[in-house]
Amino acid sequence: MTQIICLANSWKNGERCIAGINIDTKKWIRPVSSLNPKDGKVPRSVRLIEGKEPALLDVLDIPLENNGPDFGFESENITIGSGKWQLVERVQPTDLLEYCHNYSYILHNSNKYVTVSSLQSLPFQERRTLELVYATKFSVKEDELQNGKWKGTLITDTGLQLTETRITDPVFVERLKSSYRPHNPCLVSVSLGMPYKPPTWGKDDPYPCWKLIAGVIELSEFDLILVEMKRIGWSIKQGRSYLEKNYKKYSRQELNKNEITEFLNYLKSLPSI
């Protein structure tokens, strides 16, 4: 059994793609099903836990084998073994900050896709097809050409951008359909889909794997306090000292809404380390 923090439960050809961070190795894992040898999508009969879908932030205990099919370009795939999935606990969004890496690009390049051939040119362990991104700005729009589909645009604190990328997170899409719109920074799981060449592309054009927004976790102002403390290099002890001095309180849990906003704005005004 392997424990992963679920960071993606997204659509995949009528079923779902599950992915997350291995708690022990701190590396991405994409559990794939041998029942679907073409793309490894995970059927309901395998992934449901007491009749419920795995949710983002769930810690899942999953029976996994030692390796899995890479489909020619993916490095994170591990075949699902026999046995039932279990829900262990849930983590907080701020527990994920350590898994956000500052790469030069969001998944290898500045394009909306990565070609199979370019991935195959890399050493196996460098063929990243999953990445957790801290998006300081995240906006959405409905796809004008595909009814019910949505696209997202994100910008990181270092200026990296991913524009109008298809959102495949079913739970988040349902919220968008109900007129919800994200306002705060988000943690975004970006993945590469299976190779797909649009009909307008030529037969000699390389096969692209399109970037997808596979999971979205919006951070609250409460979460952003820890984000800003990390940015400016404050320890928990320093934060508590400030709260004691200015609010006569000993943790952010004791702050009211106005105090949370005021404290957060103060942290944002301080320079980065």
Tell me, what's the pLDDT at 7?
Answer: 98
Residue pair 208/113 in contact (Cβ under 8 Å)? The answer is yes
Q: Would the pLDDT of 148 be above 90? A: no
3-class secondary structure per residue, the chain: CEEEEEEEEEEECCEEEEEEEECCCCCEEEEECCCCCCCCCECHHHHCECCECCCCCEEEEECECCCCCCCCCCCCEEEECCCCCEEEEECCHHHHHHHCCCCCCCCCCCCCEEEHHHHHCCCHHHCCCEEEEEEEEEEEEECCCCCCCEEEEEEECCCCEEEEEEECCHHHHHHHHCCCCCCCCEEEEEEECCCCCCCCCCCCCCCEEEEEEEEEEECCHHHHHHHHHHHHCCCHHHHHHHHHHHHCCCCHHHCCHHHHHHHHHHHHCCCCC
Distance, CA of 71 to CA of 209 (rounded, Å): 12
Q: Model confidence over 151-162: pLDDT tens digits?
A: 999 999 889 999
Q: Could you tell me the pLDDT band of residue 273, with boundaries at 50, 70 and 90?
A: confident
Category of 22 on φ-ψ map: left (φ > 0), alpha (ψ -120 to 50) or beta: beta
Mean pLDDT of 58-63: 97
pLDDT tens per residue across span 219-239: 999 899 998 998 899 999 999
Instruction: Give 128's contacts (C-beta < 8 A, 6+ positions apart).
Output: 28, 75, 76, 107, 108
Q: What is the structure's pLDDT at 131? A: 97
- pLDDT score for 253: 87
Residue 165 · residue 213 · CB < 8 Å: yes
Mean pLDDT of 7-23: 96
* Sequence-separated (6 or more) residues with CB below 8 Å from residue 107: 114, 128, 129, 131, 190, 192, 211
Average pLDDT of the segment spanning 124-149: 92
β-bridge pairing 28-32 and 77-79? parallel
Pick the more confident residue, 102 or 155. 155
Say what the pLDDT of residue 147 is.
81
Q: From CA 44, how far away is CA 55, in angstroms rounded?
A: 14
Residue 70 has pLDDT above 90, yes or no: yes
pLDDT in tens, 75-86: 999 999 999 999
User: Residues 15-49, buried b or exposed e (16+ Cβ, 10 A)?
Assistant: bbbbbbbbeeeeebbbbbbeebeeebbbeeebbeb
The dihedral built from the CA positions of residue 195, 79, 66 and 53, taken in this order, carries a sign that is positive
Q: Exposed, middle or buried: residue 135 (CB in 10 Å: 0-12, 13-18, 19+)?
A: buried
